Amino acid sequence: MNLLITKANVLRADYSTEIADIAVKDDVIAAVGDIPEDFAADYIIDGRDHFAVPGMVNAHTHASMTLLRSYADDMKLMDWLNDKIWPVEAKMTEKDIRIGAQLALVEMVRTGTTAYADMYGPYLESVAEATISAGLRGILCRGPIGFMPGVEKILAANIDLFKNYHGSGDGLISILLGVHAPGTCPPDFCRKAAKASVEHGMNVHIHMSETQGEIRQIQEQYGKRPFKYIEDTGLFVRPAIAAHCVWLNDEDIAVMKAHGVTPVHNPGSNLKLASGISPVPRLLAEGIQPALGTDGASSNNNLDMLEEVRLAALIHKGNELDPLAVPAREALKMGTEYGAKALWLDRVGKIEAGWKADIVLYDMRRPEWCPRHDLVSLLVYSASSSSVDTVLCNGRVLMEKGELKTLDEEKIMYEANKCAMELINR
C-alpha cells in the first residue's frame, strides 16, 4: 500500500527538523520532502501540527511482567526477586504470559514504541504470535537461570524458538539467545550457552553488572568481575546486548569494546530499585552507543520509552554536575537509532528514504508544545507520551488519532486484570 503523511514536522536523519511530506511504499519510506510525481497514495494522513519521529526502541524489557505492575514495590532487588517475583512467575500459564504481553503491546503502541527486546519465560511462541498480530517488532529470548533444574531444556527451547520464529512475521520477529545474569548462571551453563550461540548463529541478551552486590558475588566466587567472567566462558564471541551495566570499571569497558557488547541503560528501573546510575557519559566518550530500555513493568512501573529518554537526559546532568552530560538529541538517539542498532535491526531508527517505515506522530496542538523554539527539546524535556497520536510500524498503521487499529484494548485490559488477580491468589 502507498501511504502519504502530509506537511508533518519531520525529524531528519541529521536531527534537524523541517516541514515535509513522507511517502511510504509498503514497509519502506519511499521519499521525504520531494515526493515523486508518479507516487499515488492509497491512504493519506494529515501531519500538520504533528512531529514525525522514528518509533521508540525498547531494548530491554520483560513484557508479560505487566501482570505484576504494582504487585511488589519498594523492595531490595534480591528480596524482590526471591520473595515476590520468582515465586509468582513460576505459577504463570500460557494464558498469563500471552495476555500480559498483549497488555504490554497496548501500552507500547500508545506510548510510541515500535520495537522491543523481551527476555522472559516459557510460551514465547504465543508472545511472538501476539506481536505479529499487533504489528510491532519483537526481539525475543528466554531468560534461563542456570542453576535451576531442567535449564538445558530451556536452552533447547530457546534454540527451537530461533529455528521456528527468527525472521517470521515478514521480518518483525527476531530471536536471541538469553542468559539471565552472571550471578544466576554458573560457568558450565554459560559455556553451553556460548557453544549454542556460535553453533546456531544466535546473538546474546544478558543482564550485566546491575548491582554492587552482584559484583562482590562474582568476585568472591570466581575471582574476577562479571564482564571478565562472562568473557572467559565464551559468551561474548557472538554480538551481545547487556542490560543495566551500572557498575563498570576500565576492564569492563575494555571487554565491551573488544567484543562489541552494547549496554542497555534502564534509568527508571535502576533508580526505583536503587541499583545505581550507569556511567553513560563515560560510555559515550569511549565511542560506545548505549541503547535504552524500560525493564519490566513490575520494576519501572511502565513501558513509556519517552520517559526513559527524559530520564537519560536529566539524571546524568545531575550526577555529573554537567548540563551537557547527555544532551536532548543524544538521549533521543539512545531511544531510537542506537536502540535499533543494538538490536541488529536493519534500516530502522531514522526517517529517511530507503529506511523502514516505523514512524510516530506526536500531536503538538497542546500547551506543552508551545512555543516551538526547538522540537527535539520540546519532545525530550516538555512533552509526554500522551502526545502520541499516530503510530506506524513496517508501514502498517497501528494507531491513528489515538485509535488502536490492531489491538482490542478494552478486552485486553479486562482479561489482564482478571489474570493478574487470579495469578497472585493461585
Tens digits of residue pLDDT in 106-120:
999 999 999 999 999
Give the H/E segment covering residue 212: helix 212-222
Contact 9, 51 (CB under 8 A): yes
Same domain, 165 and 26: no
Provide the pLDDT for residue 63.
Answer: 98
Task: Kindly state whether residues 93 and 214 are assigned to the same domain.
Answer: yes
Tracing cell 542490560 back to the chain, one arrives at 243
Residue 91 has pLDDT above 90, yes or no: yes
Does position 82 have pLDDT exceeding 90, yes or no?
Answer: no
Same domain as 203, residue 99: yes
Are 284 and 359 in the same domain?
no
What is the model's pTM? 0.97
CA distance 212 to 228: 16
Q: What is the 3-state secondary structure (H, E, C) of 166-182?
A: CCCCCCCEEECEEECCH
288 shares a domain with 275: yes
Shared-domain flag, residues 165 and 28:
no
* 389 and 270 belong to one structural domain: no
pLDDT digits (tens, 9 = 90+) for 182-229: 999 999 999 999 999 999 999 999 999 999 999 999 999 999 999 999
Q: Determine the structural domain holding residue 377 and report its residue range.
A: 2-54+354-404
Cβ atoms 131, 405 nearer than 8 A: no
What is the pLDDT at residue 111? 98
Residues 250 and 359 in one domain: no
